[in-house]
Amino acid sequence: MTDKVAQTRAVDSNAEPFDAVDIIRVKRDKGALSPEQIDWTIDAYTRGAIADEQMAALNMAILLNGMNRTEIARWTAAMIASGERMDFSSLRRPDGGLKYTSDKHSTGGVGDKITLPLAPLVAVFGVAVPQLSGRGLGHTGGTLDKLESIPGWRASLSNEEILAQLQDVGAVICAAGAGLAPADKKLYALRDVTGTVEAIPLIASSIMSKKIAEGTGSLVLDVKVGSGAFMKDEARARELAETMVALGKDAGVNTVALLTNMDTPLGLTAGNAIEVEESLEVLAGGGPNDVVELTVRLAEEMLACAGVTDADPAAALKDGRAMDVWNRMIEAQGGDPRAKLPVARESEVVYAPADGVLVELDALAVGVAAWRLGAGRARKEDAVQAGAGVRMHAKPGALLRAGEPLMTLLTDTPERFARAKEALEHAVVIAPEGSRPAQRLIIDRIA
């Protein structure tokens, strides 16, 4: 027994109402934890009365044996109780009535820049969007990393600044404050290094504790499924979505989920500045069809959850209203929406290897390539290159000719090209002309 664990056991036996080892044994033996045991566990771990080794063992027991709905709800509530809760009840519409709030959370993917056009689009219709976002890790991109490629833009806002911007502009995309569900930050860091990230009860409570503590009135979940997603299997993604919807509803947050395809990257870019560029195309009424389709569908869901049923989000993209809100939102956070975006110093083209129809473009491979080019990070403290990434020139369904440009790789450090191309060696499948890729962008809706 390590000194740290021995000290923790001594604290448990002398001053604590429960013993961490007894808690571990309950889940190891497929039992259910009581509300009191869960409350104590989260509180004790947050303040250091449970050692990392002990919480790692408990996390593994939860991964292997699961939790029932009551346990997951209490675990989530305990993580919320570890910190502050935001309150948007002071937000008002022009007529003096309560301004509704609606938020979106994506479980992460490749080329997933949807938050950027979505937040200002929903705000067009008088619904406030408090979008607390994160940074990328590994092959999945981070919303804050993308926005930080805009000169002057800042991610960190105080609660007072968030509230003021929601009242004035209607939308904010920023980093979550340190006081929001601090237990989750500590637990996630431990799960990340102990092979327990995939535990559905822990994923669901991690996401929903922050979203419920954020104080939004309604929430739409974009649960990705496929090679570039956290959840590769549709059945497990569905289980995660259903668990999170139940947690939201139990907490009084109107919650729905969409299962969406992440076998293929969203849009034609995977990176930071180039995804902002593509988002601006969408806000200007253009952009790739899949990005527009998902942005509009999620906007419809967010507005419906907030009680707005007569809106036309597609029209607000076409006529410039969403772009107007975007410009105000970026300016409110110190950014210059008219400034030129960073451009990578080096580029290299990947060519189509054969004639035929592109039927598969693997999202994971593209995400790893973008990561290796400098668009992502291996550790949270790593820096990213604003201009790095992958620009795609074709999506599944396109007719290709051998030697045509298929992708352009972008980076400031050309020594990265070799490993990025290694990641792309089996990224594409080209079939004879007449073949059709099997693609569904939106797989299902769960409410």
DSSP bridge partners of 343: none
Q: What is the pLDDT of residues 427-441, one digit of tens each?
A: 999 999 877 777 789
102 in active site: no
Q: Both tokens of residue 222?
A: 């974009």
Helix (H, G, I), strand (E, B) or coil at 145: helix
210, 211, 321, 395: the active-site residue: 210
> Which of 12-21, 47-56, 89-98, 258-267 is predicted least confidently?
12-21
113, 191, 211, 224: the active-site residue: 191
Check residue 11 and give its pLDDT: 47
CA torsion 56-208-293-315 (nearest 10°) is -150
Say if CB 91 and CB 163 are below 8 A apart: yes
27, 104, 105, 211: the active-site residue: 105
Residues in the chain: 447
Q: Once rounded to an integer, what is the mean pLDDT over residues 199-222?
A: 94
When computed from its CA atoms, the radius of gyration of the chain, rounded to whole angstroms, is 23
Check residue 42 and give its pLDDT: 97
For domain 3-66, give its CATH number from 3.30.70, 1.20.120, 3.40.50, 1.20.970.
Answer: 1.20.970
pTM: 0.92
Sign of CA dihedral 254, 258, 262, 264: negative
Check residue 193 and give its pLDDT: 83
Check residue 4 and give its pLDDT: 53
For domain 102-332, give its CATH number from 3.90.1150.10, 3.40.630.30, 3.30.70.1230, 3.40.1030.10.
Answer: 3.40.1030.10
What is the spatial distance between Cα 286 and Cα 136, in angstroms, rounded to a whole number?
26
pLDDT bin (cut points 50, 70, 90) of residue 10 is: very low
102, 133, 205, 206: the active-site residue: 206
Q: Both tokens of residue 196?
A: 């327990």
Check residue 12 and give its pLDDT: 47
Arithmetic mean of pLDDT over the chain: 93
Q: Once rounded to an integer, what is the mean pLDDT over residues 135-149?
A: 86
Same fold, 3-66 and 346-431: no
User: Hey, where are the domains in the chain?
Assistant: 3-66, 102-332, 346-431
Q: Once rounded to an integer, what is the mean pLDDT over residues 149-155?
A: 96
* CATH number for the domain running over 346-431: 3.90.1170.30
> Which of 183-197, 262-276, 416-430 is predicted least confidently?
183-197
Q: Once rounded to an integer, what is the mean pLDDT over residues 206-235?
A: 94
145, 184, 222, 290: the active-site residue: 184
DSSP bridge partners of 105: 221
Max Cα-Cα span within the chain:
74
191 in active site: yes
421 in active site: no
Q: How far apart are the first and last CA of the chain?
A: 47
Higher per-residue pLDDT: 76 or 193: 76
Q: Once rounded to an integer, what is the mean pLDDT over residues 250-257?
A: 95
Say if CB 298 and CB 129 are below 8 A apart: no
Q: What is the pLDDT of residues 367-420, one digit of tens each?
A: 999 999 999 887 777 789 999 999 999 999 999 999 999 999 999 999 999 999
Q: CB 408: neighbour CB atoms within 10 A?
A: 17
Q: Both tokens of residue 98?
A: 């309560």
The yes-or-no verdict on residue 14 having pLDDT over 70 is no
pLDDT bin (cut points 50, 70, 90) of residue 204 is: very high
Query: Residue 198: which of 63, 26, 83 has the closest Cα?
Result: 63
